[in-house]
Amino acid sequence: MVFSPLHFVPSAIAAVLTIAQVMSMHKQAHRNLGRITVLLAILGLIGYISAGNFRFWPLDFHVAHSLIGLAALMTSIFVFLDRRLISKGRSSRHCRMGKAAAGLAAITLLMGLLMLSGVVSQEPVQLQFAVKENISQEPTLSRLPEVEARAYQGVDLVSIHNQGNNAIAGTQHINRSSYRLIVAGLVDRELNMSYEELLGLPVYSELAYMPCVEGWGFDAKWTGFRVTDLLDRAGVQPGGRYAVFYTAEGYSTGLPLDYLRNESILMAYGLNDLTLPPDRGFPFQLVAKHKYGYKWAKWITAIEVTDKDVRGYWETRGYSNSADVGGFPFG
């Protein structure tokens, strides 16, 4: 996934300034634009690499965008150095290279806008096949092996110690014996269930890729119960169409009931065959397949069924409420 504000904001500005340099006839403005452009382009590259996206295979739209963007950066740096150290800005080569840099920057900018708008998918080719076509849930036992799995369904798993992890208020420590999950809202019966009672629901395991909006992600084996099995026990009333998940850290996010049912979304208590550690969301984390990571709520303590879409913590701060992977993450 190519999206990362630390990458696309400075890179987009650098691309626009590169194009502006070609049209600028004022020497001092030309020089100043050159300095700013190179600095912003380098900052964009650093933001891209730090997001963990820098790859050259398989060859897809994402990789083509990366390669053309890198070519634009290198050409811009050459033009910048050529003007000061080699030709002093007086050669025709300098002008030709400047136009080439502007052309590459324009192509890179257009490709980036297509990915951010969702017209072109940001997902690597192998992830689309691995996650969306070949993976299915498997019924399993509620008791976890407590030995970390290294592979599942033919896919190498990312170790818990190497997985990315975010939280708005740090790790939450929840007592297993006193924990209760509340299910309320538009339901026939409000539920107040213990951890052990929840483990009595039918259990499934599946391979799912967790994609963070910052640009990183990981494959893992998740084990838990289906949200809709829990909601069916509560009995969703007519008009109920949306579920809001609340967490111990004061976080919230929501998803349509149709999505939860059609995708058989799990509330996981197991990760790679280990009980969720406290920093990974014990007792339960939502496995919101094909959604950006801010929908994967951790430390879930309550679920509310409503008749309308509700914007959660990050959604009220400008992030998309649909959070579809490959789509524009704001709005």
CA trace torsion 297, 299, 303, 304 (10° rounding): -70
Higher pLDDT, 64 or 243: 243
Residue 44 reports pLDDT greater than 90? no
Continuous segment of H or E residues that includes residue 83: none
Continuous segment of H or E residues that includes residue 304: strand 300-306
User: Shortest CA distance to 227 belongs to which of 297, 158, 313?
Assistant: 297
Strand, helix or coil for residue 130: helix
> Residue 5: its pLDDT value, please?
74
Chain segment 149-188, per-residue pLDDT in tens: 999 999 999 999 999 999 999 999 999 999 999 999 999 9
Amino acid code (one letter) for 279: D
Chain segment 188-240, per-residue pLDDT in tens: 999 999 999 999 999 999 999 999 988 889 999 999 999 999 999 999 999 99
**Least confident window among 60-74, 110-124, 231-245, 255-269:** 110-124
Cα(45)–Cα(184) distance, integer angstroms: 47
Cα(227)–Cα(250) distance, integer angstroms: 20
Backbone φ and ψ of 93, nearest 5°? -60, -40
How many CB atoms within 10 Å of residue 127?
16
pLDDT band at residue 118 under the 50/70/90 scheme: low
Residue 52 reports pLDDT greater than 60? no
Cα(73)–Cα(54) distance, integer angstroms: 15
pLDDT band at residue 132 under the 50/70/90 scheme: very low
Do 216 and 51 form a contact (C-beta atoms < 8 A)?
yes
Higher pLDDT, 260 or 50: 260
Bridge partner list, 319? 330
> Residue 328: its pLDDT value, please?
80
Structure tokens at 42: 């380098």
pLDDT band at residue 1 under the 50/70/90 scheme: very low
CA angle at 132 for the pair 131 and 137, rounded to the nearest 5°: 75
Residue 323 reports pLDDT greater than 80? yes
Residue 4 reports pLDDT greater than 80? no
Domains, the chain, with CATH or none: 5-117 (1.20.120.1770), 125-317 (3.90.420.10)
Helix, strand, coil percentages in the chain from 3-state DSSP, rounded to 5: 40, 20, 40
